Amino acid sequence: MSWHRRARALVPTLLAGAALLGAAHANAFSLDDVTARAKALADKPYAAPASNLTPAFAKMQFGDYIKIQPRREAFEWNDQPTAFKLGFYHQGMQFSTPVKINEIVGSGANAKIDEIKYDSKRFDFGDLKLDRSATHDLGYAGFRVLYPINEPGKLDEVMSVLGASYFRVIGKGQIYGLSARGLAIDTGLPIAEEFPAFREFWIERPNAGDKHLVFYALLDSKRATGAYRFDLTPGEDSVLKVQARVFMRDKVTKLGIAPLTSMFLFGPNQQRDPYNFRPALHDSNGLGIHAGNGEWIWRPLNNPRNVAISQFQVTNPRGFGLLQRGRDFSQYEDLKDRYDLRPSAWVEPQGDWGKGHVELVELPSPDETNDNIGAFWTPDQLPPKGTPLQADYNIRWTMNERGIVERNLAWVKQTLRTAGEITQANLIRHFDGSTGLIVDFDGGPLATLPPGAITPQISVSDNATIIEQTLQPNPVTHGMRLNLRVMVKDPAKVVELRAALVSGGKAISETWSYQLPPFSVAKQ
């Protein structure tokens, strides 16, 4: 099971009035309308959409698919006073079924809904040798939102919606990195993952001066349906408000709410590829959690040999996300892919979500073309059939990771992993089979507290022993550096470690939660 980065009937009572999706609508369109459709859909057997692609489009490789670009002169709303514009994705490759896209114009009794019809003239096909007549029966695979966030009057693509229920968002100065999804089903299990898909969209035409864009989506899959309302506000940090209503068609083993998908290949906390000049290669390097009890947790990511699943029991989470900590270009040294400019995504639940856990899925990956990291919320209990699971949350796309964590707490600036070493009498280093871990804490009260007033609180699972630990000031960062040497008992088993800084009996840092996956101990 893996994610690939490159590819990615109405309730009878509602039928009594005007048609819900007719050109004229008697009432304002809302999430309730899509929820009614999702509920009715969940009561029917699943009907998988059939591909309408011609062989030329079905066999298309990614390099050819990206040659199909929207014509800027054909953007939707070019003739409107709004600063927002819409471009579309063409069908091709695994995007084999068309997605219906509707426009909502006006509000209240004057609201009008019309389908945005497919038109091949909206696209530039580059140098592709295609029979243009073969496109007549095709459609859109998704859409992109454009809005000026970097320079006044210059359009920037700020959101992409393409493939299953995937979407990506960026803010000012950012480039696309990790993705979000509408829903995850059975992710990371030894059974086939199910990928729910957005089948239809309704996009509100913004008015002149509007700084946000609202759209709705209908989700469908074999075992679930869903209604979604999205409210996008682009900016320095772009914020996407999400309201989700999910209906179960059938039982699932695992349901993931507000799922995020990213890539981690290697970094300072995991031995890097000796043939790669980059010090690190990832879209995200850690999972952050703000638990309902107020605890902040930071979990560095791994690229494990085998599928690894970690669960963090949290009641009423206040936030979680896959973050890219470290913004210096020298930490990546990649001019082509600019991993230093890829945003973090922070999910902020609205209201109480109850009991459940944040789950982290880490998959082995040999290269950066696979999204091998997933994180989402899984509730302990699902509602009965016919009752929607309601989840409202905001996703903040940001490069200001320090701004997420409370300012009065120190945070984990970096984690370094190495072969454990001791210094011999002749001052030559000797690797003794242990694993060395270096954790730099930064910020919060560290610069003002005397070093003697700060102590580490450390725990380790039964499969390892801490044979050395030191805490020392870091004069470069004005923070504190924790040095650990850990002796693993059975390299075939996992090791879990936790550490936090304490002063006066009170935690003054977030909790560093680290995992040494099986077979990850450095060889002597």
In the three-class reduction of DSSP (H, G, I as helix; E, B as strand; rest coil), residue 114 is classed as strand
Q: What is the pLDDT of residue 14?
A: 27
Residue 426: predicted pLDDT: 74
Q: What is the pLDDT of residue 18?
A: 32
Q: Which residue has the tokens 């091949």?
A: 120
Mean pLDDT of 136-162: 96
Predicted local distance difference test score (pLDDT) of residue 162: 97
Instruction: Write the CATH number of the domain with boundaries 3-403.
Output: 2.70.98.10
- Are 468 and 436 spatial neighbours (Cβ–Cβ below 8 Å)? no
Q: Which long-range contacts (CB under 8 A, 24 or more apart) does 117-126 make?
A: 119/74, 121/71, 121/74, 122/70, 122/71, 122/74, 122/88, 123/68, 123/69, 123/70, 123/71, 123/74, 123/88, 123/90, 124/68, 124/69, 124/70, 124/71, 125/67, 125/68, 126/67, 126/68, 126/69
Residue 274 predicted with pLDDT over 60:
yes
* Between residues 179 and 25, the one the model is more confident about: 179
Q: Which fold has domain 411-516?
A: Immunoglobulin-like (2.60.40)
Write the DSSP assignment of 428-465 as a string of letters: -EEEEEEEEEEEEEESTTTTTS-GGG-EEEEEE-TTEE
pLDDT of res. 17: 30
Res 24 pLDDT > 80: no
Q: For 287-304, what is the mean pLDDT? A: 97
The string of pLDDT tens digits covering residues 424-461 is 677 777 778 899 999 999 999 999 999 899 999 999 99
pLDDT at 417 over 50: yes
Structure confidence at residue 432 (pLDDT): 85
Q: For the chain, what's the residue count? A: 524
Mean pLDDT (the chain, rounded): 92
Banded pLDDT at 209 (limits 50, 70, 90): very high
Q: Which residues neighbour 487 within 8 Å (Cβ) at sequence distance 6 or greater?
A: 420, 433, 434, 435, 464, 465, 467
Residue with tokens 């953007």: 75
Q: What pLDDT sits at residue 430?
A: 73
pLDDT at 12 over 60: no
- Mean pLDDT in residue range 163-182: 98
- Percentage of the residues of the chain whose pLDDT score is greater than 70: 94
Question: Does the pLDDT value for residue 240 go beyond 60?
Answer: yes
| Per-residue model confidence as pLDDT tens digits over 396-409 | 999 999 999 999 99
What integer is the mean pLDDT of 478-487? 96
Contact 186, 253 (CB under 8 A): yes
Residue 21: its pLDDT value, please?
Answer: 39
* Predicted local distance difference test score (pLDDT) of residue 522: 58
Cα angle value 430/431/437 (rounded, 5°): 125
Rounded CA-CA distance 310/267 in Å is: 20
Task: Report which DSSP code applies to 75.
Answer: -
Instruction: Examine the pLDDT at 27 and tell me if it is beyond 70.
Output: no
pLDDT at 11: 29
Residue 154: is its pLDDT beyond 90? yes
Q: What is the mean pLDDT of residues 207-215?
A: 97
The CA distance from 202 to 376, in Å, is: 26
pTM above 0.85? yes
Domain residue spans of the chain? 3-403, 411-516
Any bridge partners for residue 445, and if so which?
none
- Helix, strand, coil percentages (3-state) for the chain, rounded to 5, are 10, 45, 45
pLDDT surpasses 90 at 111: no
Tell the burial category of 14 from Cβ atoms under 10 Å away from its Cβ (0-12, 13-18, 19+): middle
Among 8-17, 139-148, 228-237, 424-433, the range scoring the smallest mean pLDDT is 8-17
- Give the pLDDT band (50/70/90) at residue 352: very high
**pLDDT, position 523:** 52
Q: Do 320 and 288 contact (CB within 8 A), yes or no?
A: yes
Residue 477 has pLDDT above 70, yes or no: yes
pLDDT number for residue 429: 73
pLDDT score, position 174: 98
| Among 455, 466, 385, 373, residue whose Cα is nearest residue 179 | 373
Residues in Cβ contact with 203 at an 8 Å cutoff, skipping those fewer than 6 apart: 86, 101, 102, 103, 104, 143, 213, 214, 215, 216
